[in-house]
Amino acid sequence: MSRVPTQSKPATSPESDETDRTVTDKRILRGEATRDRVLDAAERCFAADGFDAVSIRQIAAEAGVTLGVVGFHSKSKRELFRTVLARRVEPLNIARRERLAALQASGDGLTVHGLVDAYLTPYLEYASGGDPQWRAYAELIARIVSDDRYYREVRDLYDPVALEYMDAFETLYPNASKKDLATLLTLTVSSLLSIVASRERISGLSHEEIPATPLDYRAVLVDFCAGGIERSLAGG
Amino acid sequence: MSRVPTQSKPATSPESDETDRTVTDKRILRGEATRDRVLDAAERCFAADGFDAVSIRQIAAEAGVTLGVVGFHSKSKRELFRTVLARRVEPLNIARRERLAALQASGDGLTVHGLVDAYLTPYLEYASGGDPQWRAYAELIARIVSDDRYYREVRDLYDPVALEYMDAFETLYPNASKKDLATLLTLTVSSLLSIVASRERISGLSHEEIPATPLDYRAVLVDFCAGGIERSLAGG
DNA sequence: TGACATTTTATACGAACGTCCAAATAGTTT
DNA sequence: AAACTATTTGGACGTTCGTATAAAATGTCA
């Protein structure tokens, strides 16, 4: 194989007989483990310092590998960045879809507050959970959202679910314009991400200690967004 | 003079006779003009690409000067960044203080909606006005707010006014905790900045054209933030 | 065991980076 | 005119950047 190995799946393998046979080649297994170490290191570095301020050499050092290994596992710095960003989209989208479906199944739970909570909570939980890589990813997303140049990399991955939530809001406010709904959902997302990105500022303004996790802000955040959406769509 | 010339004012000049005599030295006047061109160029470049992605050579080219000139007018890239950030704080603070004072003088105008509007509108107006440098500055602030490493440069400059607004909110909600007030004000600021930073995302979600200016979002933005604050502080 | 595939090492390349500075230029003061 | 100051020029400095690659190491399979 020339470069950039270990594709996730062969989609439909030529011999349909070994559809889900697990790989046992130790070289590939070791390669995948190395690749994951590199991606984890890149995730932490990009989250801490941003794309441009991080060098491939720093990532290699953080991952405990040599420079060439990073180049072997991703063909460019840009592609490495893209891979890091895309890696965790699926779990988030699934969690948000599940919560939306549960809300729609329960009928009476379909409120603005419920929708906002369903959209925000998975991210808050991942950002507050025990996995430091998820925390790094959450900070990375919060960092790049205000940069169109980078956010374009994830927009197409997150927008489908956002549109599903917009449709749900539309059932509650059939007269609301698409533009207002899009604006309010964007404000909601920005509020969510700012909780992750700006906890230091909050504690600075309130002269208090930094609270434990983003999840601690769940109540006030959801109230803020839900109250804001209802006020706006109520018209004035 | 060794380096970094043209300090704004000698504070109290040794000869108190020429306190506000205007400089007529053509060398210094030309130097100040050059310095402003460099700062303007840096402002545009930093706003467009971020601190780390911009080189001093790019800034020099954008300003139409040679590389050494940038070094002559600011002793390091970091200091240039700081100067660009600090340059426009005063007008914004003044506008916000004036609006706050007007609200407090009129008594009955002191509402959550009025306070939010007073805090947000100056920035929206500068970000939507005819001066492209102010627009660049607005985008720069929106970009760095999610990066503690850079936001520290402006936090101390903006926080005093933010605290005055927090006090005003406290007169409306004496029982609210400092932490909640700080959180809600931070969410308000983040919403404000995301309007500048995320207009492309909004138009993408709503499948509509990009609206003209951030000021066009004033109504929905202020309603969102004011409604969110009231809902949160009303308790649930 | 020998041929082969995959991963890792170690190094090299040219380009671009931030910073610095001696000399040249433009303007002021004596 | 001469001495002096402030600005600008043009280029140099050592460093680090992203990327590429030959050779070594490691594991598979005939």
Q: Show the CA angle centred on residue A206, arms to residues A202 and A212, nearest 5°.
A: 55
Residues 106 to 135 of A: which have CB under 8 A from any B CB?
A: none
Whose tokens are 């989208």? That residue is: A93
B232 has a pLDDT exceeding 70:
yes
CA dist B163 and B180 (Å) reads 13
Q: Which helix H or strand E contains B21, and what residues bound it?
A: none
CA dist A167 and A178 (Å) reads 9
Q: Which residue of B has its CA nearest to A220?
A: B232
B130 has a pLDDT exceeding 70:
yes
Q: Which residue of B has its CA nearest to A223?
A: B232
Query: Which residue has the closest alpha carbon to D21 C1'?
Result: A68
In B93-229, beta strands by DSSP E: none
Of the residues A187, A188, A196, the best mutation for testing chain B's interface (the one with the most B CB atoms within 10 Å of its CB) is A187
- Is strand C in 7 Å reach of the CB of A6? yes
Torsion angle of C-alpha atoms B37, B41, B46, B52, degrees rounded to 10: -90
Whole-number mean pLDDT of chain B? 90
Segment B201-208 shows an average pLDDT of: 89
Minimum distance, in Å, between the CA of residue A171 and any CA atom of chain B? 16
Of A31 and B222, the structure prediction assigns the larger pLDDT to B222
- Is strand C in 7 Å reach of the CB of A37? no
Contact B50, B56 (CB under 8 A): no
CA dist B36 and B142 (Å) reads 22
Residues of A 45-84 whose CB lies less than 7 Å from any atom of strand C:
65-69, 71-73
Residues 157 to 176 of B: which have CB under 8 A from any A CB?
A: 159, 162-163, 166
Nearest nucleotide (C1') to the CA of residue A75?
A: D19
- Note the strand D nucleotides within 7 A of protein beta carbons: 5-12, 16-22, 26-29
Closest CA to A188 of A112, A125, A128, A109: A112
Closest CA to B46 of B68, B71, B63: B63
Q: Tokens for A11?
A: 């989609």
Nearest nucleotide (C1') to the CA of residue B32?
A: D7
**Burial level of B97, CB count in 10 A (0-12/13-18/19+)?**
middle
Give B-chain residues touching A229 at CB under 8 angstroms: 224, 227
Q: Report the range of poorest mean pLDDT among A132-136, B137-141, B207-211.
A: B207-211
Contact A184, A191 (CB under 8 A): no
| Residue A67 CA, nucleotide C10 C1', distance (Å) | 10
Encode chain A (236 residues) as per-residue pLDDT tens digits. 435 544 333 333 333 333 445 778 888 889 899 999 999 999 999 999 999 999 999 999 999 999 999 999 999 999 999 999 999 999 999 999 999 999 999 877 799 999 999 999 999 999 999 999 999 999 999 999 888 888 888 999 999 999 999 999 999 999 999 999 999 999 999 999 999 998 888 999 998 887 679 999 999 999 999 999 999 999 76
Q: Which residue of A has its CA nearest to B205?
A: A182
Residue B64 backbone zone (phi > 0: left; psi -120 to 50: alpha; other: beta): left
- Cβ of B217 and A179 within 8 Å? no
Q: Tokens for B121?
A: 């509108």
CA distances from A26 to A30, A31, A70, B175 (A): 6, 8, 19, 63
CA dist A110 and B20 (Å) reads 66
pLDDT at A151 (0 to 100): 85
pLDDT at B4 (0 to 100): 57
Partner B contacted by A183 (CB < 8 A): yes
Minimum distance, in Å, between the CA of residue B180 and any CA atom of chain A? 7
- Cβ of A184 and B224 within 8 Å? yes
Pick A187's closest partner by Cβ from B49, B191, B200.
B191
Q: Report the range of poorest mean pLDDT among A222-231, B148-157, B187-196.
A: B148-157
Minimum distance, in Å, between the CA of residue B211 and any CA atom of chain A? 10
pLDDT band, residue B62 (cuts 50/70/90): very high
Start-to-end Cα distance in chain B: 62
pLDDT band, residue B21 (cuts 50/70/90): low
| Residue B234 CA, nucleotide D19 C1', distance (Å) | 58
Q: What is the CA radius of gyration of chain A?
A: 21
Question: pLDDT tens for residues A79-113?
Answer: 999 999 999 999 999 999 999 999 999 877 799 99
